Amino acid sequence: MSKTTRVALVTGASGGIGRAVARRLATEGMAVGVHYAGNRKAAEETVAAVEAAGGRALAVSGDVADEGAMADVFSAVEEAFGGIDVVVHTAGVMTLAPVAEFDLDAFDRLMRTNVRGAFVVAREAARRVREGGAVVTFSTSVTRLAFPGYAPYAASKGAVEAMTLVLAREMRGRDVTVNAVAPGPTATPLFLEGKDQETIDRLAAQPPLERLGTPEDIAETVAFLAGPGRWVNGQVLFVNGGIA
């Protein structure tokens, strides 16, 4: 590894947006820690795809809400590649139901992963990301669109936005940017699961560009924030084709 090689850790990189982000950052010459929670095979496929394109990657596993496990994940990436410059936290869960019908155990599980998990990862990033680096968290356009059934998920991402904006200011003097990306409807397994074709078509028709986003669309924005977008800091970027 060259001493000038930048290193990224992408949580939830075994599939969907996380996988697209890992592959995109690798094209920028970054070595990539490919984090996964349970799907080792999918994470290894992401690593293989990065390596097949000439990049370097390492699969690392841990529960994002477990501070010990995530400290080990960060340490493994640092040991393999010499440090960490970019942390992209895409890992999350989405459970949908109206407020009146939402199961409180499901609510607690969602908040543990989406809020506590985001905080644990942000805390490790704040301690470890090198000067000139970047932290990118993930929110959702649903915080503004207010789709029925999304209240707990949107609430969890609202918390992520708040943490992100505060952390950007707490990193003063470190030359580390901290931003959140808020995708709109994006064709990932997490988004498509449980939706009929009529619902998918209706959502795809809402943006002026008249299509769903792709994981690659979102990865382009992350690559900008992780690389040349040094003057963008403490912001929530809505990446949704103009839906709102």
Instruction: Output the pLDDT for position 1.
Output: 44
CA 167, 168, 172, 174 dihedral sign is: positive
Instruction: Output the pLDDT for position 5.
Output: 84
Residues forming the active site = 153
Beta-carbon contacts of residue 101 (< 8 Å; ≥ 6 apart): none
| pTM of the complete model | 0.94
Query: In this structure, which CATH number among 3.40.50.720, 1.10.3720.10, 3.90.550.10, 3.10.20.600 belongs to the domain 7-186+215-238?
Result: 3.40.50.720
Q: Is the Cβ–Cβ distance between 8 and 85 less than 8 Å?
A: yes
- Say what percent of the chain tops pLDDT 70: 98
Q: What average pLDDT does range 38-60 have in this prediction?
A: 96
Q: Is the pLDDT score of 111 beyond 80?
A: yes
Angstrom distance (rounded) from CA 244 to CA 147: 12
Q: At what angle do helices 117-128 and 151-170 cross, to 10 degrees?
A: 20
Q: What is the mean pLDDT of the chain?
A: 95
Instruction: Output the pLDDT for position 58.
Output: 97
Angstrom distance (rounded) from CA 177 to CA 181: 13
Q: What average pLDDT does range 203-224 have in this prediction?
A: 95
Confidence of residue 2 (pLDDT cuts 50, 70, 90): very low
Instruction: Give residue limits of the domains in the chain.
Output: 7-186+215-238
CA 70, 75, 80, 83 dihedral sign is: positive
Q: Is the pLDDT score of 76 beyond 60?
A: yes
User: Among 82-91, 167-176, 183-192, which is the least confidently predicted range?
Assistant: 183-192
